[in-house]
Amino acid sequence: MAKCEFCDKSVSFGIQISHSHRRTNRTWKPNIKRVKAIVDGTPRRVHVCTRCLRSGKVTRAV
């Protein structure tokens, strides 16, 4: 499950170009962590990207 539950960041697609200029499809996966966070006043395990964790959008349950 590569999707953040707070900002909906998910897998993005693009093209990888080699030195000889051959083009192949590739994916970029976001840095998703499964953390215990406070959601609607109760602690819950959620999938969150590290940017949301760092910026303070998510409050971790200790």
> Looking at residues 12-38, what average pLDDT do you find?
97
pLDDT in tens, 26-60: 999 999 999 999 999 999 999 999 999 999 999 99
Structure letter (DSSP) for residue 47: E
Are the C-beta atoms of 51 and 32 separated by less than 8 Å?
no
d(CA 35, CA 53): 9
Pairing assessment for the beta strands 42-49 and 12-17 based on DSSP bridges: unpaired
Any idea where the domains of the chain sit in the sequence? 12-55
If residue 17 lies in a helix (H) or strand (E), which one and from where to where? strand 12-17
The pTM for the full model equals 0.77
pLDDT of residue 62: 82
The candidate with the shortest Cα–Cα distance to 35, out of 47, 27, 23, 43, is 47
